[in-house]
Structure 1
Amino acid sequence: MDLATIIGLVMGFGAVFGGAVLEGLHLSALIQPTAALIVLGGTFGATFVCFPLSAIIKAFKDVKIAFLPANVDHESVVKDIINYATKARRNGLISLEQEAQTAKDPFVKKGISLVVDGIDPQKLRETLEADITAFEDHSKHSVEFYEAAGGFSPTIGIIGAVLGLIHVMSNLSDTSKLGAGIAVAFVATIYGLMVANIICLPIGTKLKIRMKEEVLRRVMILEGLIAIQNGENPHFIEQKLKAFAGGEH
């Protein structure tokens, strides 16, 4: 569980609603199903127009990454690569065939298999880099989905406010309800801003960070396997890979 995401959401919504209560505003005034329908329906309706259905489904599935991220341990990657390098240095590259068969990570499995098959280092780099690029491009769709939703949401909130004001202006005969009607109209604007700045844009940023972590992990594996294929010293490989993850040390 990513506590930062949970804490951030609680702090974000808590600050808004807590501030409203401190100002003497009743929370019931902020609960407007019609405004929520306009903002959520309009925001995601506009976003759906921008993306193919497959990308939309993946974006909703990827929300879990913001709360339950995959365990990307770069130190573990370094350790595994050093183990492969030590084994290959002692027994030759063919000794890694068993590692290729037992590896659970498809990227590692593919990379080691190519090394064992004796593929040219340049071809190895091109093949694995193509995989990394494909992964990155595919993952960007979810990031872009939430960034787009975060861009549409405030505008849809304004549309909701305008619709509310139109309703208020059409009932000016009852001036006693004018103030309350205007207040309700602006709830849609609040919803639009909260959906954008507390939910969609932060989730998009969190998914982007997770994607970069996974890309770095794969780049480390790529560089490690090429170094193994070139017969480089395991200690040198270790220092090289730690440099990639230098921001974490």
Structure 2
Amino acid sequence: MGYMPYFSTRLGMRPVWEAYISDAAFAMMGLAGPCSVAHPYNQYRGGIRGSCVNTIIGFLIVSGSVVGGYILSHGHLATLLQPYELLIIGGSAFGAFMVSNPMSLVIKTFKGVPTLLSGSKYNKATYLDLLTLMYELFTKARKEGLMAVESDIEEPESSEIFSKYPKITKNHHVLEFIVDYMRLIVSGGMNPFELDNLMSMELEAHHHESHEAPSALTRVADGLPGFGIVAAVLGVVITMGSLDQPPQVIGAHVAAALVGTFLGILLAYGYVAPLAVALEHRAQEEANFFECIKTCILAQVQGYSPQIAVEFGRKAMYASVRPGFQELEDHLKGNKG
């Protein structure tokens, strides 16, 4: 038996095909299936869209459609197995990637691609944790004064407030962003406009940096068809040197040359370009998370109550992860209780 993708739900590990069939049955009854995004359990895990299932199924569809269509058209699969063509295309693309990017970006890109096989860190549960954390910090500062949160800001690892939200504290960049700007607020001397400009500059730099890896992969995808042509031309050169051979040998050389063009185009538009777009989506999710933090902090500095400040942050979220007003209020009340 071949490999069947599985993923976890509250009903345990289930194969992908079973999940879709059962959820379709639930949908016919007007209910949210146990694997659907609308189900309460999966709302907090990012749902099926936030997992590796999309990536795996997408690549399976690409591969299955191309190879399946070829086989159904009476093609011989062995003809497509041209390791030397793949070496020319893949090696050239990787070398060009190394030349055109600093090593730090190369490493960052290779670290970023595997993260697509896991769910997004920035799901509804993480946003609720963020808003609750901000609410608690703002409430403490409002009731006890800004200096009361100084110890929480200086040592967030030992803070009673921060320690309740490991999803936030484990994200170094998010924690640093919150702590740095809360420290500026406690120190005083900055009006909301100055703080807004400073945060915007930092987020713009972060936005540019987070899009470097997707841009680098996009350039690789743009170059792959060209390297496929290089492999095809080399195949034609080999063919021209074998004109004294039988037709079967010449035909095999021509087929190998054409496979080079095929592989270059398929790798570009079927695999590398989609990975680049997926990384870009992840970067946008992270940018929106930071924008939510910025909105909350600016509302606090402008004198709004903690409840209204986190409501400002809620409005800055994407609709797919934004909790409802009542849902957020209930969560804050439950946390206080």
TM-score, normalising length from structure 1? 0.91
Q: Are 2:77 and 1:7 aligned?
A: no
**Which residue, 186, 196, 209 being the options, matches 1:138?**
209
Contact map agreement 1:144 1:204 (CA 8 A) in 2: yes
Q: Counterpart in 1 of 2:198? A: 127
Structure 1 position 209, deviation (Å):
0.8
Q: Counterpart in 2 of 1:118? A: 188
Q: Counterpart in 1 of 2:74? A: 24
Q: Counterpart in 1 of 2:279? A: 207
Q: Counterpart in 1 of 2:13? A: none
**Which residue, 58, 78, 88 being the options, matches 2:141?**
88
Matches within 5 A, 1:1-249: 1-72=51-122, 73-100=126-153, 101-102=155-156, 103=162, 104=169, 105-120=175-190, 121-174=192-245, 175-248=247-320, 249=322
RCO (CA 8 Å, sep 6+): is it higher in 1 or 2?
A: 1
Q: Deviations over 1:100-154 (max 9, x none)?
A: 2224222122222222222413343333333322222222221111001000001
Contact map agreement 1:77 1:217 (CA 8 A) in 2: no
Distance 1:70 1:96 in 2: 30
Which is further off, 89-98 or 204-213? 89-98
Q: Counterpart in 1 of 2:329? A: none
**AA matched with 1:17:** V
Higher helix share: 1
Distance 1:11 1:95 in 2: 56
Q: Deviations over 1:72-120 (max 9, x none)?
A: 1334333332333333232222232243222422212222222222241
Which is further off, 115-124 or 214-223? 115-124
Say which SS state the counterpart of residue 247 (structure 1) adopts. Answer: coil
Distance 1:246 1:94 in 2: 33
Moved over 6 A (4+): none
TM-score, normalising length from structure 2? 0.68
Structure 1 gaps, min length 5:
none
Structure 1 position 246, deviation (Å):
4.5
Length, aligned pairs only? 249
Structure 1 position 196, deviation (Å):
0.9
**AA matched with 1:138:** E
Distance 2:214 2:202 in 1: 19
Contact map agreement 2:217 2:273 (CA 8 A) in 1: yes
Contact map agreement 1:47 1:152 (CA 8 A) in 2: no
Distance 1:119 1:18 in 2: 66
Which is further off, 139-148 or 122-131? 122-131
Which is further off, 53-62 or 79-88? 79-88
Distance 1:12 1:218 in 2: 34
Report the CA distance shift for 1:229/1:95 in structure 2 as closer, same or farther (over 3 A): farther
Report the CA distance shift for 1:246/1:142 in structure 2 as closer, same or farther (over 3 A): closer
Contact map agreement 2:295 2:316 (CA 8 A) in 1: no
What do you get for the CA RMSD once the two structures are aligned? 2.0
Which is further off, 66-75 or 182-191? 66-75
Say which SS state the counterpart of residue 231 (structure 1) adopts. Answer: coil
Q: Deviations over 1:201-242 (max 9, x none)?
A: 111111111111111111111121121122202332233222
Distance 2:78 2:141 in 1: 67
Distance 1:58 1:77 in 2: 26
Structure 1 position 63, deviation (Å):
1.2
**AA matched with 1:157:** G
Contact map agreement 2:297 2:309 (CA 8 A) in 1: no
